[in-house]
Amino acid sequence: MKLQNQLHSEPFSDKTGCKVLNPEQISIFDLDQQEIITLFKSYGALLFRGFDSDVEIFLQFSNSLSTEFIDYSNGYFNRRVINNNPTLLSVNDLKDEIKLHGEMYYLPNHPPLLWFFCATPPVESGETIICDGRKIFSNLSDETKNLFTQKKLKYVNHLEKEAWQERYKTDDLKLVKDACAKNQRLVKLNEDESIDILYICPAIYETGEQKELTFIGSLLPAKSLHPDIISFDDGSEINEQIISEIDGVTEEITTEIAWKTGDILMIDNNRVMHGRRKITDDNRDIYIRLCSPAFPF
């Protein structure tokens, strides 16, 4: 019987996540899956570095630990499908910094597990960042903790009459309401026949076996890209003081990943947020897969 190899793990100091290194130059498929799962549950993010890998190996390795891969239907950004595989996607096509977020938290069903693969690393900048939402929550002030546990977030998408009729290809508001209800969105009709599409969701979730309070979602990029669309669910403002407190707390415990060719990153999307520093190198090519763990979680 072939003996499984022990994982060589190295935490990112006291920040988020853990590296799995390959000093003995083994195949990534010879790693003990149970050890991977135990380490993943403990750290919430694993970076596999130094293994012989390409896109095909990335697909096989992620397949071996995952299930229910999804495409990017209803996703917010533009992504390219890679190798005609709708479950293998480029990261978004923007160059700007993307602040920390949970993937697809603007939808009620977000994928619990994310995989990233580095096809071509940038020569400089463009680091992916990861940050543990449990640590974020526990490091917030009591006042901010109370605010986020008592109030939810409200996203409002305002569409003029022509815009919603064009988008939904109908002038029947009932059909628009039915379509929005599928993603738990409410539609409010205004006097001028424009509409507001409302999505209300928590900023704090309970995650893991201990049901630990976890700060995760789309608040930070939404606030930085479209500050007018987001508020607390009672309509009150999420002010700059709150955002700068979160920015300060996250920067202390954020891990920056300077990609190397063939790196594979596994992220618990229920617990660990990810983002990206500004891109200055057009050659940066990172792929993503969205799925669920194929192990009890």
* Nearest-approach distance from CB 177 to Fe ion, in angstroms: 29
Q: Give the single-character DSSP code of 74.
A: T
* Nearest-approach distance from CB 101 to Fe ion, in angstroms: 6
* Nearest-approach distance from CB 110 to Fe ion, in angstroms: 10
* Nearest-approach distance from CB 274 to Fe ion, in angstroms: 6
Round to whole Å and give the CA distance between 221 and 230: 11
253-272: contacts with Fe ion (CB under 5 A): none
Round to whole Å and give the CA distance between 148 and 151: 5
Rg (CA), the chain: 20
Residue that the structure tokens 């990261």 belong to: 91
Nearer to Fe ion, 51 or 205 (CB): 205
The maximal CA–CA distance of the chain, rounded, in angstroms, is 73
Nearer to Fe ion, 31 or 127 (CB): 127
Nearer to Fe ion, 187 or 264 (CB): 264
* Nearest-approach distance from CB 102 to Fe ion, in angstroms: 8
Round to whole Å and give the CA distance between 4 and 35: 10
65-124: contacts with Fe ion (CB under 5 A): 103
187-246: contacts with Fe ion (CB under 5 A): none
* Nearest-approach distance from CB 39 to Fe ion, in angstroms: 22
User: To 10 degrees, the CA torsion angle through 96, 100, 103, 108?
Assistant: -120
CA angle 290, 292, 297 (to 5 degrees): 140
User: Nearest residue by C-beta to Fe ion?
Assistant: 103
Residues near 195 by beta carbon (within 8 Å), at least 6 away in sequence: 158, 159, 161, 164, 173, 176, 187, 188, 189
Q: Is 95 left (phi over 0), alpha (psi -120 to 50) or beta?
A: alpha
> Which residue type occupies 123?
V
Count of positions on this chain that bind Fe ion (CB under 5 A): 1
How do beta strands 18-21 and 45-48 pair? parallel
What are the structure tokens assigned to 45, written together? 């993010």
In sequence order, the β-bridge partners of residue 272 are 132
Nearer to Fe ion, 90 or 231 (CB): 90
Nearer to Fe ion, 28 or 271 (CB): 271
Ordered DSSP codes for 125-136: B--EEEEEHHHH
Interface pattern 143-172 for Fe ion (x via CB under 5 A) = ------------------------------
* Nearest-approach distance from CB 130 to Fe ion, in angstroms: 11
* Nearest-approach distance from CB 218 to Fe ion, in angstroms: 9
Contacts with Fe ion by CB under 5 A lie at 103
